[in-house]
Structure 1
Amino acid sequence: MHTDAVAMHMSDGLVNGPTALLFGAAAVAALAVAVLRARADLDDRTAPMAGLVTAFVFAVQMINFPILPGASGHLLGGALVAILVGPWVGMISIAIVLVVQSLLFADGGITALGTNITNMAVIGVLVGWAVARSLRRLAVRSRAGLVGVAFVAALVNTVVASLGFVLQYAVGGAGGAALGTVFALMVGLHVLIGIGEGVITAATVGAVAATRPDLVHLLRGTAIPLARRTDAPEATR
């Protein structure tokens, strides 16, 4: 198993053909659901935001940060897109990034595209959203609370997404490494990668909330957007 797999992008040949087909079908099914559900989240205001988030994740994923000698990580973006544009649009955004990276930049194998989409676009986004949504009461109290929730969601989604990688390798690994080695390498290093993921996610979500909290999907339906709390007394006059 090569250390470049630590960045989560699975390469061709790391799992056998039936496993790649299985998770490819799972990815297609999940994205079909996401396309149907995303329609309710997209309008003239949120559609441009989705495009910006997709472009941002694509750009930041091209930047690796060192973790250990011979190992590096990059933003996965699951919690980031889920918090900003919702889980369904977020799944589509990450999937688009992964398809472009695979086809144009050979970052992640073509036959492994289904496994990569499952890990980062499906598991990563849904877990990030589940964590953020469960902590929403904390997130709406203050900008610091929102930033903290974003950090935790990003850290957890990164580690759980790495477990998806381990599961796929357990089902049909063809890389020649022992499953225990893969588990220790992926989970151990992704705890560290998750810290970097959390910092980037928290900083980005905090920056958006500071200027346009109405564009943060996680805050939809709250009584008073964060940046407008100071206006609340005037609004009640």
Structure 2
Amino acid sequence: MVLAMHMSDGLVNTPTALGFGLVAAVGLAIAVSRARADLDDRTAPMAGLVTAFVFAVQMINFPILPGASGHLLGGALVAILVGPWVGSLCIAIVLAVQALLFADGGLTALGTNIVNMAIVGVLVGWTVALSLRPLARRGRTGLLVTAFVAAFVNTVVASLAFVLEYAVGGTGGASLATVFTLMLGLHVLIGIGEGVITAATVGAVAAVRPDLVYLLRGTAAPLEIRTARGSAA
């Protein structure tokens, strides 16, 4: 069994797919409107790099248990680096390309996948990171802890959004209790991998260009996370 967050065609019924597709469309419309204020000469190039990175890493599955694997969702990662609104658009683009060109996630399920990963995942990751921003501003260790916790929580909550959609209109044949147990249990483990990847990536960017980390904007002394030799403290 390979478990990923991507829903395939037919996993939920048509009314459910259409309903969450509408939610996705409204959410992305809000993101487009809000993202305009965040796009500048730092965020725009970073958004392109982050989108390409998430796309590449999502194509790689890492083992969780015998017969089960997962991949990066990227919600907290993009939120911390480029903000929640631009980040939501980045993940939505990745999901659309995967569905259209690589059949990774069904076309009729694109709306549900966008809700889970591009909206719920990103906004939850950002909310956690924002609440921990005072810790992140203290130095490299605080930033890494913030990134890890935000990524872990966003992964678990996104999996619960999957369960909610299945509860509303699931047609996969498995009981809701089974889906809940598998999704929550395995995504707790996947969340650990997500946290490690997110912390490592955010830490690498911050070590070189802390000014590019959206979460750190407004920090009085953004370069304090670097040592005199230029490496992260």
Q: How would you bin the TM-score normalised by the shorter chain?
A: over 0.9
Whole-Å separation in 1 of the counterparts to 2:66 and 2:165: 26
Whole-Å separation in 1 of the counterparts to 2:145 and 2:203: 9
Amino acid of the structure 1 residue aligned with 2:54: V
SS in 2 for 1:28: helix
Counterparts of residues 202-221 of structure 1 (less than 5 Å)? 202-221=199-218
Whole-Å separation in 2 of the counterparts to 1:44 and 1:166: 39
Task: Report the equivalent of 1:120.
Answer: 117
Whole-Å separation in 1 of the counterparts to 2:167 and 2:225: 49
**Cα distance, 1:177 vs structure 2:** 0.3
- 1:137 matched to 2:134? The reply is yes
Amino acid of the structure 2 residue aligned with 1:71: A
Whole-Å separation in 2 of the counterparts to 1:38 and 1:9: 25
Whole-Å separation in 2 of the counterparts to 1:71 and 1:110: 24
Task: Report the equivalent of 1:164.
Answer: 161
SS in 2 for 1:7: coil
- 1:194 matched to 2:191? The reply is yes
Task: Report the equivalent of 2:99.
Answer: 102
Which structure is higher in helix share? 1
Which of 146, 149, 168 is equivalent to 1:149?
146
Summarize deviations over 1:87-124 as a string: whole Å, max 9, x none. 00000000000000000000000000000000000000
Whole-Å separation in 2 of the counterparts to 1:170 and 1:188: 17
What is the TM-score normalised by the length of structure 1? 0.94
- Conserved 8 A contact 1:148-1:202: yes
SS in 1 for 2:69: strand
What are the ranges of 5 or more consecutive residues in structure 1 without an aligned counterpart? 232-237
CA RMSD of aligned residues (A): 1.1
Q: Judging changes above 3 Å, is the alpha-carbon distance between structure 1 residues 226 and 147 closer, same or farther for their aligned structure 2 residues?
A: farther
- 1:72 matched to 2:72? The reply is no
Whole-Å separation in 1 of the counterparts to 2:227 and 2:92: 38
Task: Report the equivalent of 1:223.
Answer: 220
- Conserved 8 A contact 1:212-1:227: no
- Conserved 8 A contact 2:140-2:203: yes
Identity of aligned residues (%): 81
- Conserved 8 A contact 2:139-2:224: no
**Cα distance, 1:228 vs structure 2:** 6.5
| Deviant stretches of 4+, over 6 Å | 228-231
- 1:84 matched to 2:64? The reply is no
Number of residue-to-residue matches in the alignment: 228
More displaced 10-residue stretch of structure 1: 8-17 or 220-229: 220-229
Task: Report the equivalent of 2:29.
Answer: 32
What are the ranges of 5 or more consecutive residues in structure 2 without an aligned counterpart? 229-233
Whole-Å separation in 2 of the counterparts to 1:207 and 1:229: 11
What is the TM-score normalised by the length of structure 2? 0.96
Whole-Å separation in 2 of the counterparts to 1:65 and 1:216: 26
- Conserved 8 A contact 2:140-2:225: no
**Cα distance, 1:45 vs structure 2:** 2.0
- 1:178 matched to 2:180? The reply is no
